[in-house]
Amino acid sequence: MDQLTESMITIFLNDQPFQAVAGASESLLDFLRHRALATEVKCGCGRGDCGTCAVLFDGRMVKSCLVLAAQANGKRVYTIRGLGRDALMANLQDSFIQHGAIQCGFCTPGMLMAAYNLLRIKPTPTRSEIRQGIAGNLCRCTGYQKIIDAIAAVAGKTAFVSEAADSLDSPNPTATDQEKAKAGYLLLGGG
């Protein structure tokens, strides 16, 4: 190990210690995906534009492509898989399925992390605050309305009279078992 270009990094990934060598310029995203094999963290743009690589890093949401692995040394990092048993995350995942907020699934882990982070900080956001909370995450499939509806439902905000323009979408039919199975796979970063 060349100490000028590599260092031993220990992180607490989803509450489990993980140690590996990381390059001096290696991103947390690459460290998570290639060294810790946490492939639920998606690589979208690699520039901080899309949000697919979002993780909780010492209690705050970050885009892991913008953080050096060395900065994570000794820190706690949670991925979508690590929050799989959390009640808030489970409610968000169910709501995403029920509201049809999952299409191809590529943005879903990052979008769920952003929604989780928002509701953790502000449990009853307005629709405008939900939009702001997910603003750093790109979705090319859903047009965001179903995602906002899913987050609002978990926040207990199913009807926003003051924002009547948002009520143009008709309710979604109930998801089939096959759709739920596919969604469950995508919710944990599969695909």
Domains and CATH numbers, the chain: 6-78 (3.10.20.30), 87-187 (1.10.150.120)
Find out whether 148 and 129 touch, Cβ atoms under 8 Å.
Answer: no
Q: Can you give the pLDDT at residue 55?
A: 97
pTM of the entire predicted model: 0.80
pLDDT at site 110: 94
Number of H helices, E strands in the chain: 6, 5
pLDDT for 141 equals: 83
pLDDT for the residue 165: 31
Q: Cα Rg for the chain, rounded, in angstroms?
A: 17
Alpha-carbon torsion angle 112, 113, 118, 119, nearest 10? 60
Q: What is the pLDDT of residue 175?
A: 52
DSSP string, 90-155: HHHHHHHHHTT--SSSSSHHHHHHHHHHHHHH-SS--HHHHHHHTTT---SSS-SHHHHHHHHHHT
How do the pLDDT tens digits run along the chain, 191 residues long? 655 789 999 999 999 999 999 999 999 999 999 999 999 999 999 999 999 999 999 999 999 999 999 999 999 999 999 998 999 999 999 999 999 998 888 899 999 999 999 999 999 999 999 999 999 999 888 779 999 999 999 997 433 322 333 333 333 444 555 555 555 555 555 55
CB 143 within 8 A of CB 107: no
- The pLDDT score that the predictor gives to residue 156 is 79
Task: List CB contacts of 2: < 8 A, sequence separation 6 or more.
Answer: none
